[in-house]
Structure 1
Amino acid sequence: MRRRVSTERSGEERRQELLRLVRENPLLTDEELGRALGVSVPTVRLDRLRLGVPPQPERARQLAGVALGDLRSLSEADVVGDLVEVERGRRARSLLRTSPRLAFLNRNLIRGHHLFGQANSLAVAVVDADEVVTASARVRFLRPVYVGAVVEAEAKVRQVRRGPREKWWVDVESRVGSEPVLRGSFLLAVLDRARGTDTGAGVDPKTRG
């Protein structure tokens, strides 16, 4: 009897720890939760069911619904990946779930322009303005990404220059798990609606591999 009580307490403590982890980071997968808790993925799924915690894709969609309400500089259709957090003028996060359609033909390697598109659209999303274009970009691809990986990108505003030729400098890092796969620095220019032109910057991004 004592062993059964002890096991139940251990299970209850584990479930409370699972709740804490999910509250801190709703994007954790069952595999990541299993590693953090030292249990198998089926155990994590059973614990989630008992606690009423939805699976990671559903949690991401819930976050995305909130984040999309904060978009200003582009539409939902323009975002590459799933937007999960936007704090306009400061930071933003998105997830890109990779599939064979994003890979090179007959290979499991994800094409770089999809990773660039995720980072670029996230950099635009964080800008607190109505119309924004990419003036330039410096990007480093740090390691290959393969089909099935979930790429999490985070954008942070580094500098803003206000005025009639307003510009934003945004840094983006993309990761698979804890491993960085891309780092980029983007210069975004805010369009001048009154003149119907941009603020003096080009539109096409320049990449550096």
Structure 2
Amino acid sequence: MKKSDRRLALVRYVQENPFATDEQLAERFGVSIPTIRLDRAVLQIPEARERIRRVATGQHDSVRAMAQEEVLGEISELQLNRYAVSTLAIQPAHVFTRTRIVRGHILFGQLNSLAVAVTDADVVLTAKTELRFHHSVALGDTVLGRVDVVARRFGATKCRAVSMCNGEVVVDGTIWVVQPKEISPPGVTL
């Protein structure tokens, strides 16, 4: 691939995958990490941390059903009762020691916490999930999770959930959450 074609493709790819690291970009385009850094400098594309920070500043609403630090991953966008997006940088605590593959409950937890966070209520519980796991995720990867509210009826919210890593769908499916009327945690009146 010619340099000009690679740089054009790099701009498009980073727009679609703003959390891609230099290592991932180098592998994707079959060049060295210093070459990717040079391309980014010429194209004025910030490094991954800055791109993540810029996306995170686009967050609009605040989580009501849980504390922000209880969400698995960093929320980058949140529109209550519409959609929520988060990124999860895979750390050693998230993976099996021997294989360095992410534990399934971590990927589920990211999407489930987004489904709870997107619901505009003080108390939200998971009622049902139907998720398919398509690909494994490894230590050092960054997972982009997105949950979109697709229906709301009688205190129940149906959410479409998708996790992506390196441009591929990792997990997708549906999560239903409910706002129980009979459960009242200490200090909360429903």
Give the TM-score range, shorter chain: 0.7 to 0.9
Q: Whole-Å Cα distance in 2 between the matches of residues 170 and 82 of structure 1?
A: 19
Q: Quote the offset at 1:166 in angstroms.
A: 0.9
Q: Whole-Å Cα distance in 1 between the matches of residues 8 and 101 of structure 2?
A: 38
Q: Which residue of 1 aligns with 2:141?
A: 149
Q: Quote the offset at 1:77 in angstroms.
A: 0.7
Task: Indicate the structure (1 or 2) with the bigger Cα radius of gyration.
Answer: 1
Residue of 89, 97, 103 corresponding to 2:89? 97
Q: Which residue of 1 aligns with 2:54?
A: 62
Q: Whole-Å Cα distance in 2 between the matches of residues 87 and 115 of structure 1?
A: 21
Q: Whole-Å Cα distance in 2 between the matches of residues 58 and 31 of structure 1?
A: 16
Q: Whole-Å Cα distance in 2 between the matches of residues 36 and 144 of structure 1?
A: 18
Q: Residues 141, 90 of structure 1: CA spacing in aligned structure 2 closer, same or farther, 3 A cutoff?
A: same
Check conservation: 1:119, 1:184, Cα contact below 8 A: no
Residue of 145, 154, 160 corresponding to 1:171? 160
CA shift digits 1:6-39 (9 cap, x unpaired): xxxx86x976875666556533443565678786
Residue of 9, 34, 37 corresponding to 1:42? 34
Q: Whole-Å Cα distance in 1 between the matches of residues 114 and 95 of structure 2?
A: 21
Q: Quote the offset at 1:140 in angstroms.
A: 2.2
Check conservation: 2:19, 2:142, Cα contact below 8 A: no
Check conservation: 1:68, 1:76, Cα contact below 8 A: no
Matches within 5 A, 1:20-169: 22=14, 25-30=17-22, 40-50=32-42, 52-67=44-59, 69-161=61-153, 165-169=154-158
Q: Does 1:186 align with 2:178?
A: no
Q: Residues 94, 104 of structure 1: CA spacing in aligned structure 2 closer, same or farther, 3 A cutoff?
A: same
Q: Whole-Å Cα distance in 2 between the matches of residues 110 and 36 of structure 1?
A: 21
Q: Secondary structure at the match of 1:124?
A: helix
Q: Secondary structure at the match of 1:113?
A: helix
RMSD (Å) for aligned C-alpha atoms: 3.1
Q: How many pairs align? A: 184
Q: Whole-Å Cα distance in 1 between the matches of residues 54 and 130 of structure 2?
A: 32
Q: Which blocks of at least 5 consecutive residues in structure 1 are unaligned?
A: 1-9, 199-209
What TM-score comes out, normalization by structure 1 length? Answer: 0.70
CA shift digits 1:28-63 (9 cap, x unpaired): 443565678786542331243355543112321332
What TM-score comes out, normalization by structure 2 length? Answer: 0.76
Identity %, equivalent residues: 37
1:184 counterpart letter in structure 2: G
